[in-house]
């Protein structure tokens, strides 16, 4: 009984309405301050959430800048993936800018606003419904790409593990994701993977990524009829505690999360449960075929998984996949 009450409280605190109301004064102050920058939107993200939750913030900021003809100046410090003192801009450490042609020089003095939650920007309500998988991919990749050392590590790992167009990528997100997605027994998920292999005979290799070591062990023991490679992530969840709250070094966690998403994006097909990490594989590679094994919950029906699920249902003629 107590567990159910605690879960309900957690769900309420996660709700967008609660967060949006709480952040209203900060949101008004932030946008008033940024208007003084005259053409520049300077945001420092200090969010304590998952890596790709922060990437969602970056995507919304880019949408806002495109709409208002502003130059984005985005950094991310502290939080889960930075150092405690906030000296390291971990976003700039993992991504490099792809400058659009004709960018105007930044003013000498720019007022930077610190954002600790997506609702402090107020962009989800404004932009979420406008997002499309192809357009979001084009937008992000027109401004940013993974840093050179990340791209090199992805290439060498793909070569070492044999990840290619003939690989079926598999991603299972566990731990606290039960609050945001329908649950699926591990055996049912493995049967779903088997069915995908049967329907796509060009797929002759499996690559599995998960935050739960127990699931990885279960998956590798399942009698699949093709070889399995495991994502080289060393920082996994501890029981029900998500990876990003498990006390690992911030930059190491961020690098591993980004590497896992990019490795999945290099597969020929992806089967997944709801997760920002694997959903962003579709942003990094918009041509990647993706199947969601279960839908996100209605109160967490967020992009990119929302668009993946809707497109999947449409392709199935309106029937649940």
Q: What is the DSSP letter of 293?
A: S
pLDDT of residue 196: 97
Q: Of 245 and 31, which is predicted with more confidence?
A: 31
pLDDT at 162: 97
Which tokens hold the place of 262?
């990019």
For 82-117, the pLDDT digits (tens) are 888 889 999 999 999 997 544 456 656 899 999 988
Q: Is residue 267 pLDDT above 60, yes or no? A: yes
Q: Which pLDDT value is given to residue 13? A: 53
> Which stretch of 68-77, 206-215, 248-257 has the lowest confidence by average pLDDT?
248-257
- Where is pLDDT greater, at 79 or 21? 79
- Cα separations (Å) of 80 from 14, 52, 53, 127? 18, 12, 11, 25
Q: How far apart are the first and last CA of the chain?
A: 34
pLDDT tops 80 at residue 175: no
pLDDT of residue 172: 94
Sign of CA dihedral 130, 299, 19, 77: negative
Q: Read off φ and ψ for residue 226, nearest 5 degrees.
A: -150, 160
Per-residue confidence (pLDDT) for residue 48, from 0 to 100: 80
Is pLDDT above 50 for 68? yes
In the chain, domain spans: 15-97+105-130, 148-315
| φ, ψ at 167 (rounded to 5°) | -100, 130
Averaged over 304-318, what is the pLDDT?
82
Select from 3.40.50, 3.30.1400, 3.30.1490, 3.40.30 the CATH code of 148-315.
Answer: 3.40.50
DSSP state of 298: G
pTM, to two decimals: 0.86
What is the pLDDT confidence band of residue 300, given thresholds at 50, 70 and 90?
confident
Average pLDDT of the residues of the chain: 86
Alpha carbon distances (Å) from 295 to 68, 90, 160, 184, 230: 33, 31, 33, 10, 24
- pLDDT tens per residue across span 189-213: 999 999 999 999 999 999 999 988 8
Least confident among 27-36, 173-182, 219-228, 311-320:
173-182
**Residue 252: both structure tokens together:** 């190491």
Strands 95-97, 167-172: pairing is unpaired
- Eight-class DSSP state of 319: S
Based on C-alpha coordinates, what's the Rg of the chain?
A: 20
């Amino acid at each position: 009984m107590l567990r159910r009450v605690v879960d309900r409280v957690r769900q309420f605190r996660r709700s967008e309405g609660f967060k949006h109301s709480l952040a209203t004064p900060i949101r008004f102050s932030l946008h008033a301050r940024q208007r003084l920058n005259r053409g520049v939107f300077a945001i420092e993200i200090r969010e304590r959430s998952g890596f790709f939750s922060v990437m969602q913030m970056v995507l919304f900021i880019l949408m806002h800048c495109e709409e208002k003809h502003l130059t984005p100046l985005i950094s991310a410090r502290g939080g889960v993936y930075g150092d405690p003192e906030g000296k390291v801009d971990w976003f700039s450490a993992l991504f490099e800018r792809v400058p659009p042609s004709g960018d105007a020089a930044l003013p000498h003095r720019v007022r930077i606003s610190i954002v600790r939650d997506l609702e402090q920007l107020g962009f989800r309500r404004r932009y979420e419904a406008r997002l499309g998988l192809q357009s979001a991919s084009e937008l992000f990749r027109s401004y940013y790409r993974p840093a050179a050392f990340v791209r090199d590590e992805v290439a060498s790992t793909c070569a070492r593990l044999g990840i290619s167009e003939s690989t079926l990528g598999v991603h299972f997100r566990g731990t606290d994701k039960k609050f945001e997605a329908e649950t699926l027994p591990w055996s049912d998920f493995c049967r779903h993977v088997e069915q995908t292999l049967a329907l796509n005979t060009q797929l002759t290799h499996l690559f599995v990524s998960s935050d739960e070591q127990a699931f990885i062990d279960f998956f590798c023991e399942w009698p699949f009829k093709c070889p399995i490679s495991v994502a080289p992530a060393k920082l996994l969840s501890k029981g029900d505690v998500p990876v990003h709250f498990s006390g690992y070094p911030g930059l190491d966690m961020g690098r591993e999360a980004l590497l896992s998403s990019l490795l999945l994006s290099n597969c020929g097909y992806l089967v997944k449960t709801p997760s920002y990490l694997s959903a962003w594989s579709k942003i990094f590679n918009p041509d990647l075929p993706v199947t969601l094994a279960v839908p996100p919950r209605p109160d967490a029906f967020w992009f990119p998984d929302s668009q993946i699920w809707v497109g999947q249902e449409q392709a199935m003629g309106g029937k649940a996949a």
